[in-house]
Amino acid sequence: MYLPAVLNLLQASLSSLTGLLEFGLPASVSPHDFDGFATLSPYHDRAHVPGVAADLPSDCSVDQVMLLHRHGSRGPEWEDKYIQKLVETLDNFSQVIHRAHLPPNLRFLKDGYESDLVPHELTVVGRRQLFDHGVDFALQYPSLSTSVVLSSPVQRVVDSSHYFGHGFFGGDVGKVEFVTVDELDVPVNWITPWKSCSKYSEAKGHAAASAWRSKYVPTITQRLSRQLGFQLSDDDTQGALYACPYDLAAHNESPWCDAFHNHELRSLEYEYDLLMDRISGRMSENDPGPILGSVYVNKLIERFTNATGDAKELYLEFGHDTSILLVLSALGLNKDRTLLPEDHIRTHRKFRTSEQTPFAARMVWEKFSCEKSFRGPQIRLLLNSATYPLTTCQKSLKDREFGSCSVKEFIGANEFSLNVHYGDETWNTTCVD
């Protein structure tokens, strides 16, 4: 089922590894814009936090790893109707466009614009992201292995786990068991815990995003309409905005990205941050973010303490952007002091999905031990290849230097999560109608 595509992908990836094929920024997007598409951003490594060491001390070794990986770049979901509306409008006004004197950044429209985006599905770019990440992971942890890969049952996530598996396991991938969370005998799983929470809803997120969209899109509509010589609708403008990151997701380039000013693309980024903050952030104690994220935190502690006596050295697990954001919410690591406002962009904010959950985001939890540098087992979080400081449990200068903390302090800092259990009063108040 996967072999032909994987062989083609292998050939392309080997080219990139030998430097024969660039996989950098597309020509139509400047580096300043590249990381500004929120959860629709192409994968990119996070910048290292100043003052936090990128590598562990030389006397330390990683003993256990848990990977939670988002699926790779995909086609649009609910946004597809806006993109298709745009294509229809441009087709209806093709003669006007052909006669118009367009600015350089819109002249591509004289040749027409068609969308070949496939909704929901993993793109070729997404396949390559996961395969290459699998190769990178094998190089980073050459002594660790597992025989099981776990994923959400959504097809693009299943596909992502397979492409990663081919990169990580190579010729031994046939010996690996690929399992989805639907096959687990548990009341609630830690990759898609919202499936067990009947009160969980994306309505607040879409309402907040819509409120912000109504403020910034009309101005863009007016500008583009003047330049094109005919009246666009706000839905058309939305389609053009969404076409930019989704073309990148499918083809690694998009002519639409140059059609917008930087502040307009920042507004698009903020729209998606509002959406995801309301869905999986932490607005109040009664919101589901920390409750649902506690399922993963409990599983993390269970495995790193070997509470069940059967902990493995490596866990490879695949989910969604929400899967990762819920964990950060439960840990309080990306919580802003107040709710993100819907009437202006808060430039300085902890909740920034461009850096936390781009397509193919990878959350890596390491448990490590040292001969002298630290006493007892330690925990470190790498998010998109950079240390994400565990500020809630750090107790020493060494902790702050390496962004880590002891397993003991990590447990103590997460008593809230440890006291949440499926079906108890806290869970039922938040999740049961």
What whole-number distance in Å separates Cα of residue 273 and Cα of residue 289?
15
What whole-number distance in Å separates Cα of residue 111 and Cα of residue 125?
25
Tokens of 195: 């499936």
Residue from 7, 17, 70, 47 nearest 324 by CA:
70
Q: What is the DSSP string of 163-205?
A: HHHHHHHGGGGGGPEEEEGGGS--SS-SSSGGGG-TT--SHHH
What whole-number distance in Å separates Cα of residue 329 and Cα of residue 281?
6
- List of E strands, 323-404: 362-370, 378-383, 386-387
What whole-number distance in Å separates Cα of residue 297 and Cα of residue 418?
8
Task: Name the residue type at position 291.
Answer: I
Backbone angles phi, psi at 407, to 5 degrees: -55, -40
The answer to whether residue 321 is catalytic is yes
By DSSP bridging, strand 148-151 and strand 314-319 are: parallel
What whole-number distance in Å separates Cα of residue 307 and Cα of residue 301?
8
Catalytic-labelled residue, pool 69, 71, 133, 162: 71
Sign of CA dihedral 326, 139, 25, 163: negative
Are 414 and 331 in contact, with CB atoms under 8 Å apart?
A: yes
What whole-number distance in Å separates Cα of residue 81 and Cα of residue 83?
6
Catalytic-labelled residue, pool 236, 277, 321, 399: 321
What whole-number distance in Å separates Cα of residue 403 and Cα of residue 391?
7
What whole-number distance in Å separates Cα of residue 79 and Cα of residue 70?
20
Element of type H or E holding 221: helix 203-228
**Residues paired with 74 in a beta bridge:** 122
What whole-number distance in Å separates Cα of residue 344 and Cα of residue 337?
16
* Residue 428: CB atoms within 10 Å: 12
- List of E strands, 213-322: 314-319
Are 290 and 50 in contact, with CB atoms under 8 Å apart?
A: no
Element of type H or E holding 67: strand 60-70
Question: What residues are labeled active site?
Answer: 71, 321
